[in-house]
Structure 1
Amino acid sequence: MTTSSSYYCALLKLCSEARNQSQVKKLHCHFIKTLSDPETFLLNNLISTYSKLGNVEYARRVFDQVPHPNLFSWNNILSAYSKRGHLSEMQWLFDRMPIQDAVSWNSFVSGYARYGSLGESVEVYKMMLKNAPVNLNRITFSTMLILSSNQKSIDLGRQIHAQIVKFGFQSYVFVGCPLVDMYSTTRLIYDATQVFDEMPEKNVVMYNTMITGLLRRGMVEDARMLFQVMKERDSVSWTTMITGLLQNGLCREAIQIFRDMRSEGLDMDQFTFGSVLTACGGLLALEEGKQIHAYIIRTDHEHNVFVGSALVDMYCKCRSIKSAESVFMTMTSKNVVSWTAMLVGYGQNGYSEEAIRTFCNMQRCGIEPDDFTLGSVISSCANLASLEEGAQFHARAVVSGLISFITVSNALITLFGKCGSIEDSRRMFNDMDNRDEVSWTALVSGYAQFGEAKETIDLFETMLAQGLKPDGVTFIGVLSACSRAGLVEKGHWYFQSMIKEHRITPLPDHYSCMIDLISRAGRLEEAKAFINKMPFHPDAIGWATLLSSCRFYGNMEIGKWAAETLLELEPQNPASYILLSSIYAAKGQWDGVAQLRRGMRDKGARKEPGCSWIKYKNKVHIFSADDQSSPFLNQIYFELKKLNCLMVEEGYVPDMSSVLHDVEESVKIKMLNHHSEKLAIAFGLIFIPAGLPIRVFKNLRVCGDCHNATKFISKITRREILVRDSARFHVFKEGTCSCGDFW
């Protein structure tokens, strides 16, 4: 090799390490101009450099210019095609090689293992076996074992293991590590342990592989013991333990291992910090997270995009949204993971509008969303019940092809359900090629919100028949559907099935559903007995649910018991005052109503003002009771007056029990006529084109009078009116409501 060739090879190495392809091309031009007969060694280095930089086309051009290619030349270009998945070119070259050695065969089998089918890879491997043991080496076996792991093919893995023993490679650590990994990946942890135990020499990589395998199978103590007996533990060993403990739900232990690692003075990388920050987020351990953040700054890792994304996620999970924003804004580089962490954080903390805005900003920065990002922003649209914006993201999912991802389809099922388009939810569900438990649960919950008990239960039973496992959220949908349909015995059966058959521990929400189920059917004494047998006291929702049923059935005794308990639990919760006031008002006990109002003032409890809203031409129009702020005020009140006359002719009688004030009857009627949902419906009748449903959303439960009036309005106007209150959807059509007057 001449001095000039040596010099040029050194320059090529520097350019390769710097990933500077333009400089390599300049050197290439310089070779052509200055070297009339470049040495094969130099051209081989140029092929290798282009290959490392991913430019297979230029690598092939150089190969074609080599006057007398040697085996190294052939192997270089073969490796380039193999690494990039150009299988047909790889095959063509391999067939024309004057001679093949172990390197050639390994490049050949690696290409098919990475990018071909399992069958093609096995066929190439069989060809190698015909020439064994000449062309077989540890790289061959390692490649095929990795393929077995990726494909979860235990039969192939066992065959390779037998051949490893046959050809005497069983003592090689380089082969032992992927063999242990193959067995643990395919859930044969005891086979993995046997291979590990029989290895004559074990290095730190072998220990790390075995620990990972043990942690993958819920075997934490075995992994911990193996970790303790390791003579040499590197940063990967410690990070493996942290990650494994995290994956097994042992977040507190993961943080402690991180502390021990830190006290050992070991270097930490993005994976270490990413795992321990995830553990902090899982525990809502904000203070520990802040301490780790400070350590990240001290060790100069804060500019790593992976670490920055993990910090954003941790702060969001700990509900410290301002801290998350601060980290996000100071990140020097952001990728789709960073943007998604911030977007999801907004959504999970109730800032759905900010989540949508973040998605739009991400697009302006040229970052393409993945399926998780798009699914998350669609979920934010669902939380806002914003069908128009959700439909835009639906269109984007179709155009980009992300609609094929289950995360996106599941989010769309939920979106349509929460926006009152249950038919679209069902259509989306039916169009999916693959469905998981989340898909079924989203549709079950959607039907339950509409009070469609039969559809909910039928869907749930079909889900079970297909061998899918419901979770706690699925059962909330089923129990609430039973409640709204008055199916008390069936609800009891499902509740017991959830505990005994599906091994799901009931949460407060499940107990609230059961309280609602029993008390809504008028079985208030039974509801009281159920509460007294519960393993813990109901939360505020449970007591408010019972109190609501007491108001409906006029049960003063149990109502007072529920109200007093709720007041002890949450003294400033206005629900107990309002609901108990309704019971007093219905019985004409206005002194009791006045006393409750004084109690509200003394305790500083404030009733949430009722409001309703409707969207028209991308603008949300909000109404409060007796609203005087709308620019369309005269048109709305004129429409209501006209409707009221027509309703009375049809037999409508105002429900005075919905008014909690001791005033003249005429004043009560006026107050009822100007409830917020009626104003929103009138607005919809004026501006929403005929043939389209009117969609109204309300922050509180719809009152009895508004519910009755809306039935009359739907019949008179022949319009479909959809009202989503704080509890469920009501679809009014032709004088009836989907809830069957049971809500």
Structure 2
Amino acid sequence: MSHFSSNHYCTLLKLCCESRNFNNAKNLHSHIIKSIPNPETFLLNNLISSYAKLGSITYARRVFDEIPHPTLYSWNTILSAYSKLGRVNEMEHLFNSMPTRDGVSWNSLISGYAAYGSILRSVKAYNLMLSEGSYNLNRITFSTLFILVSKLGCVQLGRQIHGHVVKFGFQSYVFLGSPLVDMYSKTGLISCARQAFDEMPEKSVVMYNTLINGLMRCGRVEDSKRLFFDMRERDSISWTSMITGFTQNGLDREAIDLFRNMTLEKLQMDQYTFGSVLTACGAVMALQEGKQVHGYIITTDYKDNIFVASALVDMYCKCKNVKSAETVFKKMTCKNVVSWTAMLVGYGQNGYSEEAVKTFCDMQKYGVEPDDFTFGSVISSCANLASLEEGAQFHARALISGLISFITVSNALVTLYGKCGSVEDSHRLFSEMSFRDEVTWTALVSGYAKFGKANETIGLFESMLAHRLKPDKVTFIGVLSACSRAGLVEKGNQIFESMIKEHGIVPLQDHYTCMIDLFSRAGRLEEARNFINKMPFSPDAIGWATLLSSCRFYGNMEIGKWAAEFLMELDPYNTASYVLLSSVYAAKGKWDEVARLRKGMRDKGLRKEPGCSWIKYKNQVHVFSADDKSNPFSNQIYSELEKLNYKMIKEGYVPDMNSVLHDVEDSEKIKMLNHHSEKLAIAFGLLFIPPGLPIRIVKNLRVCGDCHNATKYISKITQREILVRDAARFHLFKDGICSCGDFW
């Protein structure tokens, strides 16, 4: 390399910084030492700056120490190097050693403290600078301070600094407008932000964008829209701010429409634009619009952007199009924790809980560390699978990793244990939590409610109110369902009224269904009918089926027919109406009516959903249906059932013939009852689950009356705990008693 002038060396140093090539910078430094005996100070200053930009404060300081007579610029250069790199102690020592200081020196000190997170020390430095004279102040200082005040949330200090801006004549700088408006917006003073905006003599596009963001954050959507359309010139950020604001304020359709207009304007879009509009599409399940946005993205440079791809996965999952989400996910060349979590959560939200757990395992194989949200999501999937063993393993991993300290993870675990029927573990974890929010309390309330523990559920609910926590719609569903399953009609009525009058919650369909269930289970069917007639809208299929089920139990044909007619009209292809009404007729011996209903089902091509039960053993799920002989251990299972049946009859068990909806001989009915799916699963559990451990069964339908009665006898005869999770609730059978109190 030939001898260059100082300007040439400075140019080459700049290229080293742009290419992030530290070795080239060192080689260039070496050449300067060899070629120039006494380099000029400004060249050495450039070397200091270059080393700082390349992250080597050691070399930067070595060059500074070699300058015989450092100028103020030299001092500021090395001070600034310490300030970007967060070396606060060295920065402070150097600052105190400076022979003279100017505004740049003070700005470096203030910014350095801020970068380190020491906001109070930044403010102290600002006050010290003022005491030395206002000549040090400049617009960079004020801009930095406004950003600091936004982080600190100190309104009074912000007002004081704003006063200094006016006092020292800096209010005319357009440059200061945006940080000033942003500072007031982020401290919640949106009126002051608007006033500051209006008082600025000139308004930049950036300032408009800042105020639009602030107004949107405060929910002032109409003001944002007016400001947006008042702008003479709008840049891409203006449009993106509006789209994001609409999405954040639940105006997803407006966000999608504005994006469409933005494409017509042929404006440049970035990852935030695409991310916001895809969030809007997912929120309203606008699959077609989401696909159109995807098509547009493919034509841009953002088709391989990890942020955008993750947003696409999330959008497709929220639109129930899991296959498209999988396609996008698999095509991603680079995935981070956000992408993996988007796919995992998507699986969980769409009922693919096993795939969610598998995705979590795959994620770890690729070395991606989960965050609290990922962990909470995979635990929720275990809860949906009623997989206590896997959930407990995740609990252990959360303890080891420290993620248990995040409330999202703890809440998911409280929910997991509740859904898996281990409400004692749920309560234990709840008690150990140092901080609990509304979700925590609701998770435990729901866990006790599923077990039918009405007194405990109501007690928790009242404790929640005593802790001044606001119950939400889900909390009330849990409490009302507990009341219905325990027959606490008056208490349930009182809580329903308080939900509306005291807590201002408008009842959802689920709340009305709980109330229908409350009256129906207690046999107060006429009150249930009157309640339905007073509802602001008709019950859904679950509500009608709930009433119809109770009509079957209490043998009320009149209200049963009334409910069935509405259910058939609402959902002609719902088999529940036919099956439940058939059971009402069968209990009364009206087999002609049963045959008529069955013919109606055949004519419509309807089939009753087959009942099935499953049990997990050695990480394998064993599924059973009625009269099932596909299991490799069928001979042992049926033999075990025969032995149990003999012992049960000796103890006083009598088969419940009403649970059979066929006009056949009693001997045939008994045979059909003996081989129901849950009985097969229980026999399997007795054979293979070690003594001392509970037998856990999951069933897709409600447990029939005969199986419920039989399981009580089995638990007494075998001295085993049997936990059955059916479509409605948990049943813990122990010593011949069920936790539901025979009320389900």
TM range (shorter): over 0.9
Judging changes above 3 Å, is the alpha-carbon distance between structure 1 residues 367 and 223 closer, same or farther for their aligned structure 2 residues?
same
- What secondary structure, in the 3-state scheme, does the structure 2 residue paired with 1:646 have? helix
Work out the CA distance in 2 between the residues paired with 1:32 and 1:645.
101
Report 1:134-153 matches (<5 A). 134-153=135-154
Alpha-carbon deviation of 1:610? 1.0
Residue in 2 aligned with 1:158? 159
Answer whether contact 2:109 2:122 (CA < 8 A) is retained. no
Q: Relative to structure 2, which stretch is displaced further, 335-344 or 245-254? A: 335-344
Judging changes above 3 Å, is the alpha-carbon distance between structure 1 residues 586 and 66 closer, same or farther for their aligned structure 2 residues?
farther
Residue in 2 aligned with 1:11? 12
Amino acid at match of 1:537: S
Alpha-carbon deviation of 1:161? 2.4
Residue in 2 aligned with 1:250? 251
Residue in 2 aligned with 1:271? 272
Deviation per CA, 1:408-458: give whole Å up to 9, x if none.
222111111111121222222222233222222222211211112122222
Work out the CA distance in 2 between the residues paired with 1:48 and 1:585.
90
Judging changes above 3 Å, is the alpha-carbon distance between structure 1 residues 19 and 456 closer, same or farther for their aligned structure 2 residues?
farther
Residue in 2 aligned with 1:390? 391
Are 1:332 and 2:333 counterparts? yes
Amino acid at match of 2:159: R
Work out the CA distance in 2 between the residues paired with 1:25 and 1:667.
93
Answer whether contact 1:520 1:549 (CA < 8 A) is retained. yes
Are 1:561 and 2:535 counterparts? no
Residue in 2 aligned with 1:185? 186
- What secondary structure, in the 3-state scheme, does the structure 1 residue paired with 2:232 have? coil
Alpha-carbon deviation of 1:497? 2.5
Q: Relative to structure 2, which stretch is displaced further, 84-93 or 553-562? A: 84-93
Answer whether contact 1:483 1:516 (CA < 8 A) is retained. yes
Identity in percent? 74
Judging changes above 3 Å, is the alpha-carbon distance between structure 1 residues 649 and 54 closer, same or farther for their aligned structure 2 residues?
farther
Residue in 1 aligned with 2:487? 486
Residue in 2 aligned with 1:539? 540
Alpha-carbon deviation of 1:494? 2.2
Work out the CA distance in 1 between the residues paired with 2:560 and 2:450.
26
Alpha-carbon deviation of 1:160? 2.2
Are 1:514 and 2:529 counterparts? no
Residue in 2 aligned with 1:590? 591
Judging changes above 3 Å, is the alpha-carbon distance between structure 1 residues 221 and 138 closer, same or farther for their aligned structure 2 residues?
same
Residue in 2 aligned with 1:170? 171
Q: Relative to structure 2, which stretch is displaced further, 26-35 or 287-296? A: 26-35
Alpha-carbon deviation of 1:26? 5.2
Are 1:430 and 2:441 counterparts? no
Q: Relative to structure 2, which stretch is displaced further, 249-258 or 503-512? A: 503-512
Work out the CA distance in 2 between the residues paired with 1:423 and 1:233.
59
Amino acid at match of 1:422: V
Work out the CA distance in 1 between the residues paired with 2:529 and 2:570.
17
Deviation per CA, 1:176-222: give whole Å up to 9, x if none.
32222222222221121111111111111111111111111121111
Answer whether contact 1:450 1:729 (CA < 8 A) is retained. yes
Amino acid at match of 1:132: G
Alpha-carbon deviation of 1:43? 4.0
Judging changes above 3 Å, is the alpha-carbon distance between structure 1 residues 405 and 69 closer, same or farther for their aligned structure 2 residues?
farther
Answer whether contact 1:347 1:380 (CA < 8 A) is retained. yes
Work out the CA distance in 1 between the residues paired with 2:640 and 2:29.
81
Amino acid at match of 1:335: N
Deviation per CA, 1:487-514: give whole Å up to 9, x if none.
2222222222323333322222121111
Alpha-carbon deviation of 1:27? 4.5
Residue in 2 aligned with 1:724? 725
Work out the CA distance in 2 between the residues paired with 1:455 and 1:35.
85
Alpha-carbon deviation of 1:66? 4.9
Work out the CA distance in 2 between the residues paired with 1:640 and 1:717.
12
Work out the CA distance in 1 between the residues paired with 2:216 and 2:20.
37
Judging changes above 3 Å, is the alpha-carbon distance between structure 1 residues 496 and 15 closer, same or farther for their aligned structure 2 residues?
farther
Judging changes above 3 Å, is the alpha-carbon distance between structure 1 residues 264 and 606 closer, same or farther for their aligned structure 2 residues?
same
- Gapped runs of 5+ residues in structure 1? none
Judging changes above 3 Å, is the alpha-carbon distance between structure 1 residues 61 and 532 closer, same or farther for their aligned structure 2 residues?
farther
- Gapped runs of 5+ residues in structure 2? none
Judging changes above 3 Å, is the alpha-carbon distance between structure 1 residues 89 and 245 closer, same or farther for their aligned structure 2 residues?
same
Residue in 2 aligned with 1:463? 464
Q: TM-score w.r.t. structure 2 length? A: 0.95
Judging changes above 3 Å, is the alpha-carbon distance between structure 1 residues 718 and 271 closer, same or farther for their aligned structure 2 residues?
same
Alpha-carbon deviation of 1:736? 1.6
Work out the CA distance in 2 between the residues paired with 1:726 and 1:22.
67
Residue in 2 aligned with 1:620? 621
- What secondary structure, in the 3-state scheme, does the structure 1 residue paired with 2:733 have? strand
Answer whether contact 2:244 2:276 (CA < 8 A) is retained. yes
Judging changes above 3 Å, is the alpha-carbon distance between structure 1 residues 688 and 508 closer, same or farther for their aligned structure 2 residues?
same
Judging changes above 3 Å, is the alpha-carbon distance between structure 1 residues 626 and 27 closer, same or farther for their aligned structure 2 residues?
farther
Amino acid at match of 2:232: K
Answer whether contact 2:177 2:203 (CA < 8 A) is retained. no
Deviation per CA, 1:218-242: give whole Å up to 9, x if none.
2111111111111221111111111
Residue in 1 aligned with 2:370? 369
Alpha-carbon deviation of 1:551? 0.8
Alpha-carbon deviation of 1:62? 4.7
Alpha-carbon deviation of 1:153? 2.0
Work out the CA distance in 2 between the residues paired with 1:34 and 1:678.
93
Deviation per CA, 1:133-158: give whole Å up to 9, x if none.
13222222222222222232223222
Alpha-carbon deviation of 1:515? 1.0
Q: TM-score w.r.t. structure 1 length? A: 0.95
Alpha-carbon deviation of 1:663? 2.2
Q: Relative to structure 2, which stretch is displaced further, 209-218 or 488-497? A: 488-497
Report 1:176-255 matches (<5 A). 176-255=177-256
Judging changes above 3 Å, is the alpha-carbon distance between structure 1 residues 681 and 54 closer, same or farther for their aligned structure 2 residues?
farther
Work out the CA distance in 1 between the residues paired with 2:32 and 2:656.
94
Answer whether contact 1:572 1:606 (CA < 8 A) is retained. no
Alpha-carbon deviation of 1:104? 2.0
- What secondary structure, in the 3-state scheme, does the structure 2 residue paired with 1:134 have? helix
Alpha-carbon deviation of 1:244? 0.8
Alpha-carbon deviation of 1:739? 1.2
Alpha-carbon deviation of 1:47? 3.3
Judging changes above 3 Å, is the alpha-carbon distance between structure 1 residues 649 and 151 closer, same or farther for their aligned structure 2 residues?
farther
Q: Relative to structure 2, which stretch is displaced further, 79-88 or 507-516? A: 79-88
Residue in 2 aligned with 1:308? 309
Alpha-carbon deviation of 1:525? 0.9
- What secondary structure, in the 3-state scheme, does the structure 1 residue paired with 2:135 have? coil
Residue in 1 aligned with 2:79? 78
Amino acid at match of 1:645: Y
Q: Relative to structure 2, which stretch is displaced further, 156-165 or 377-386? A: 156-165
- What secondary structure, in the 3-state scheme, does the structure 2 residue paired with 1:3 have? coil
Judging changes above 3 Å, is the alpha-carbon distance between structure 1 residues 120 and 555 closer, same or farther for their aligned structure 2 residues?
same
Residue in 2 aligned with 1:573? 574
Residue in 2 aligned with 1:676? 677
Deviation per CA, 1:517-572: give whole Å up to 9, x if none.
11111111111111112222111111111111111111111111111221122222
Work out the CA distance in 2 between the residues paired with 1:249 and 1:437.
22
Answer whether contact 1:113 1:144 (CA < 8 A) is retained. no
Residue in 1 aligned with 2:689? 688
Answer whether contact 1:313 1:345 (CA < 8 A) is retained. yes
Alpha-carbon deviation of 1:168? 2.8
Alpha-carbon deviation of 1:312? 1.4
Work out the CA distance in 2 between the residues paired with 1:528 and 1:86.
74
Judging changes above 3 Å, is the alpha-carbon distance between structure 1 residues 15 and 409 closer, same or farther for their aligned structure 2 residues?
farther
- What secondary structure, in the 3-state scheme, does the structure 2 residue paired with 1:98 have? coil
Are 1:646 and 2:647 counterparts? yes
Amino acid at match of 2:42: F
Alpha-carbon deviation of 1:591? 2.1
Answer whether contact 1:381 1:390 (CA < 8 A) is retained. yes
Work out the CA distance in 1 between the residues paired with 2:733 and 2:33.
81
> What is the root-mean-square deviation in Å for CA atoms of aligned residues?
2.2
Residue in 1 aligned with 2:297? 296
Alpha-carbon deviation of 1:701? 0.7
Answer whether contact 2:414 2:426 (CA < 8 A) is retained. yes
Residue in 2 aligned with 1:420? 421
Work out the CA distance in 2 between the residues paired with 1:55 and 1:636.
73
- What secondary structure, in the 3-state scheme, does the structure 2 residue paired with 1:10 have? helix
Work out the CA distance in 2 between the residues paired with 1:112 and 1:71.
21
